[in-house]
Structure 1
Amino acid sequence: MKLLDIGEVSQRSGVPPSTLRYYDEIGLIRSVARHGLRRQFEPLALTQLSLVALGKSAGFSLQDIAGMFGADGQPDLPRGDLLVRADEIDRQIGNLTTLRDALRHVAECRAPSHMECPSFQKLLRLAKRRRDPSQQSKERASSE
């Protein structure tokens, strides 16, 4: 099996060598040899790096992602966790869609003032209800 030099892994994956060294140190990928001072990796490292990028895009922590690899470095994806995260992303999509629609409405609203627009008022009430409860208690405390 042909080993890949850290420079080649970096070039092929788009991941900087410093990040590759960090990932190696925390066990996300594993160097299997050295050529001088340069780390050498099996081709599997490229697949692992693709999964790391995908996991990061999905909002998983590096620690979560590390748990998605078996002892042999092969992917061992926790389907239940993936479904939970997919549901969270669906909620985010819904919230972002609402936000996008609100921004478009505010930008295109023909009311003389946004404060006179019933749709805008409704959006403000919805936004107030969706705020983080800890933020609401901080605001209440500062207004007292």
Structure 2
Amino acid sequence: MDISEVVKRSGVPASTLRYYEEKGLIKSIGRRGLHRVFGANVLERLALIALGRTAGFSLDEIAPMLGVDGQPDIDRKMLSDKADELDKSIKQLTAMRNGLRHAAECSAPSHLECPKFQRLMGLAASGAIGKATSKKGPGKKTGQ
């Protein structure tokens, strides 16, 4: 299928497809006029890339998972490590959410008089929470 059909069926912009091809994540099998032509497995590869990106993997981390022979070669240890990283982020975000809910409902005259809010500020100042959603780059751990 040509690049316009891949764009239509995958929702991935042509510029991104060209970038993925430049990075070696997908391969065109030829050209039809000025348009790149891709094999049928390109949609599966794009879905794997999308899944990896959604899970927080960088393109450099995803590349080896796509395999060299068209068959995925997904490192289970890498998946487990990413799951552990996500667990840590979930804990950090849960603590932040709970602290914000408490601060919104706290009956103390001032938030600075609330011991729980004071503890939350201390944890945020130390970097223990609050940085789980900041991004320093694909696949980078933050707040550690």
- What's the TM-score, normalizing by structure 1? 0.84
The structure in which a higher percent of residues are helix is 1
Matches within 5 A, 1:48-67: 48-67=45-64
Residues 29, 73 of structure 1: 8 Å contact kept: no
Q: Which residue of 1 aligns with 2:32?
A: 35
Larger RCO (CA within 8 A; separation ≥ 6): 2
Q: Which residue of 1 aligns with 2:2?
A: 5
Deviations 1:45-98 (A, max 9, x none): 101101111111111111111111221122110111010001100100010011
Aligned to 1:78, which of 70, 75, 93?
A: 75
Deviations 1:96-143 (A, max 9, x none): 0111111111111111100111111121222233359xxxxxxxxxxx
Q: Which runs of 5 or more structure 2 residues have no equivalent in the other structure?
A: 130-144
Which protein is bigger by CA-based radius of gyration?
1
| SS state at 1:59 partner | coil
Q: Which residue of 2 aligns with 1:45?
A: 42
Count of matched residue positions in the alignment of Structure 1 and Structure 2: 129
The two structures, once aligned, show a CA RMSD in angstroms of: 1.4
Q: Which runs of 5 or more structure 1 residues have no equivalent in the other structure?
A: 133-144
- What's the TM-score, normalizing by structure 2? 0.84
Percent identity over the alignment is 57
